[in-house]
Amino acid sequence: MSVQKKQISRQKMLLSDKTPFAVQEAYKVLRTNVMFSLPGAGCKCVGVTSPCPGDGKSTTAANLALALAQIGKRVLLVDCDMRLPTVAASFRISLSPGLSDFLVGQAKIEDCVHQTENNISVIPAGNIPPDPTGLLEARQIEHLFTAFRKICDFVIVDLPPVTSVPDAAILSKYLDGYLLVVRQKRTRHRDVVQMLKQLELADSKLLGFTTIGGESGKKYYSYKRKNG
Amino acid sequence: MQRTNANIETNKEMDLGQLGRIFLKRLWLIVAVAMICGLGFFIHSKLFIKPTYQSYFTAYVNNKISDTGVNTSTSDLTASMGLVYVYEDIMTSRSVLKQAAKECGTSYSQIAGCVTASVSETAPVVKVVVETTDRKLSLRLAQKIAEIAPIKVAEVVDGSSMRIIDPPEAPNGKASPNSVRKATTGFLFGFLVAAVVLVFRDLIYDTVQGSEDMERRYGVPVIGHIPDIFQAERANERYGYKMTGGDRK
């Protein structure tokens, strides 16, 4: 698939009025469960990751952010996958300036935040650095998340795959929990086990799994029956 | 929310139960394949396998010629038991079968594999079975062997005799193939092969099957299930306006 087609495909995956009803409802359910998993006042930082690339974590992160914004929450979506960033393309914003540019001191954070038409704020990954892991271990990250918590209700962090690089586990101390994305009939259990072990080593908190793929299932039809 | 103390270590303990669940999940497919195999074997046995017919006789062999033809002592009986395998070989020897085939109007090569003999474990009794695809030939051949064999046995083993206990009778029905047994064999074969293939396929591929699969394996809740967007779109098109979001009347 060409780059342009991939971009169009990613944009199509974002929640909108044209999204099939079953998918919209599914994200609303996910939104509700995430909110209930993080009780209490204050900003909640949720990291979205998966065992392997292509499982759907970036789409899930973006749509979770959109679903939260739909109910009036102040949401910030941060693309921390500095090796294969996709959030900028999904929202049709420029990749740079972004998170990496801020962390190396080449941009101000205000310049990196994009306000989208969906009422969410987005910080793209920025220019791809030579050492993303080193950047994420920088002290500025802590200040950044501290600042985020003051201005947002939710910070959704799109992380790289756990089994590929250690970036996802590095941010565990700044996150209130991880949402793990797996794809039916594609994600292998051995990769899930490896992911859980790495997150366990980082003493990470799990909110739960989200499965992608398959049919919409019974939930939609039960809703139909209730509403006649 | 929980720490990452998911059931990673217990993964191996769940394999047997998982095996059973995989088997039960695919049971309908396994049974379907088994039934198709069984039906295939049945049809094959009915259409492609020629039926065979059996005629047999039993004979009492003796190493001593007496007036009654019966062993008079234990040692005689023991001697007969020892020689009964010799008699078995003589009765199914080439010379006997050649002569019998010639008198039945066929050739030795055609009937060589059709004649078998077996020996009783407790008495000097030999059973000779003739099985061919021709009902009448089976009977005629068995009758001819029953006529020729005693003469040959007496010629070869000095002082021996052979008496027919059950003479050959016309076959009542076909001896083989047993279509029901073939179908059962086919069913079991299909069942076993399908079960092994499907179970090993699931074990080898070892991919996430769904929410229940994840919760059962890891003990971590599944807090979201996002359906495939393309399948959901097709479902929308299939059902028309009813599936469109917000249009609930």
Nearest to A129 by CA among A165, A82, A170: A82
- Given a cut of 70, the residues of chain A with pLDDT beneath it are 1-11, 214-228
Q: Does residue B244 surpass a pLDDT of 60?
A: no
Report the distance separating Cα B8 and Cα A168, nearest Å.
19
Q: Is the pLDDT of residue B222 over 60?
A: yes
Rounded to whole angstroms, the Cα distance separating A145 from B191 reads 59
- Reported as a pLDDT band with limits 50, 70 and 90, residue B216 is confident
ipTM of this predicted structure = 0.85
What is the per-residue DSSP string for chain A?
--HHHHHHHHHHHS--TTS-HHHHHHHHHHHHHHHHHS-SSS-EEEEEE-SSTTSSHHHHHHHHHHHHHHTT--EEEEE---SS--HHHHHT--S-S-HHHHHTTSS-HHHH-EE-TTSEEEE---SPPS-HHHHHTSHHHHHHHHHHHHH-SEEEEE---TTT-THHHHGGGG-SEEEEEEETTTSBHHHHHHHHHHHHHTTPEEEEEEEE-S---HHHHHHHHHT-
Pair type for strands B125-132 and A75-79: unpaired
Q: Kind of pairing, strands A75-79 and A154-158? A: parallel
Q: Is the pLDDT of residue B239 over 80?
A: no
The pLDDT confidence band at residue B153, using thresholds 50, 70 and 90, is confident
Q: Which has the higher per-residue pLDDT, A47 or B82?
A: A47
- B243 touches A: beta carbon within 8 Å: yes
Size of interface A-B (CB pairs under 8 A): 164
Instruction: Give the least confident one: A212-221, B84-93, B217-226, B235-244.
Output: B235-244
Cβ contact, residue pair A209, B220, below 8 Å: yes
- Of A21, A26, A190, nearest to B225 by CB-CB distance is A26
Instruction: Kindly list the residues from chain B whose CB atom is less than 8 angstroms away from the CB atom of residue A215.
Output: 227-228, 231, 235
A118 compared with B59, residue with greater pLDDT: B59
Q: Which residues of B touch A213 (CB under 8 A)?
A: 226-228
Interface test with A, best of B10, B216, B223, B242 (most A CBs within 10 A): B223
Residues A87 and A114 sit within 8 Å (Cβ to Cβ): no
pTM equals: 0.64
Q: Round to whole Å and give the CA distance between B31 and B37.
A: 10
β-strand partners of A79: A158
Give the pLDDT confidence score for residue B123 in this predicted structure.
84
Summarised one tens digit per residue, pLDDT across range B169-213 is: 999 888 888 889 999 999 999 999 998 888 778 777 788 888 888
Number of H helices and E strands in chain A, helices first, is 11, 7
Q: What are phi and psi of B72, to 5 degrees?
A: -100, -10
pLDDT at A118: 80
Is the pLDDT assigned to residue B32 strictly greater than 60?
yes
pLDDT digits (tens, 9 = 90+) for A164-174: 778 877 888 89
Q: How confident is the model at residue B238 (pLDDT cuts 50, 70, 90)?
A: low
Query: Which of A39-48, A148-157, B67-76, B150-159 bottoms out in mean pLDDT, i.e. has the lowest?
Result: B67-76
Q: Do B224 and A26 touch (CB under 8 A)?
A: yes
Cis peptide before A166 (omega within 30 of 0): no
Q: What are the chain B neighbours of A185 within 8 Å (beta carbons)?
A: 207-209
Tell me whether B203 touches chain A (CB under 8 Å): no
CA distance B9 to chain A (A): 9
Q: Is the pLDDT reported for residue B158 higher than 90?
A: no
Query: What angle do helix axes A218-226 and A21-37 make, rounded to 10 degrees?
Result: 100
Closest partner residue to B225 (CB to CB) among A24, A188, A211 is A211
pLDDT for B121: 84
Element at A122 (helix H, strand E): strand A120-123
